[in-house]
Amino acid sequence: MAKSTASKVTAMKPAASTVATRETRALERLIHEKVRLGIVSALAASGPLTFVELKSLLKTTDGNVSVHARKLEDAGYVTCSKGFNGRVPRTEYALTADGRFALEKYLDHLEALVGAMRSR
């Protein structure tokens, strides 16, 4: 009689990379982009900031701040107010309640992802 070479099959947890990929797909894509995450994080931490302050904090170009801030504004996550300080144009951005909620949800999601990865 021949010996059976079948091994015992046990239930396996999905690979960490599979879990990470699945969870990442569910991340808030609008906020997940580096410059936009920087904008909402800076506004959440310090309150309203000018265009120049954001550009300096993020160490990026005028075009990057402008394009990414516009996407956040279109989503209702930030407000933009324009005016003048003397004769110098001044653009100021502030985080909205929806923006703060979206950031908190995003951070909660990341914390859950990190927790799932660390428990493996």
Instruction: Give residue 2's pLDDT.
Output: 52
CATH code: domain of residue 84? 1.10.10.10
Instruction: Give residue 19's pLDDT.
Output: 45
Those residues with Cβ within 8 angstroms of residue 100's Cβ, 6 or more apart along the chain or in another chain:
44
**Average pLDDT over all residues of the chain:** 84
51 within some domain = yes
| Amino acid present at 2 | A
Q: Could you give the number of structural domains in the chain?
A: 1
For residue 20, is pLDDT > 60?
A: no
49 within some domain = yes
99 within some domain = yes
Q: How far apart are the first and last CA of the chain?
A: 41
6 within some domain = no
Instruction: Give residue 26's pLDDT.
Output: 55
Instruction: Give residue 120's pLDDT.
Output: 78
Interval 50-60: pLDDT, tens: 999 999 999 99
Its domain, for residue 43, covers 28-118
Residues 99 and 43 sit within 8 Å (Cβ to Cβ) = yes
8 within some domain = no
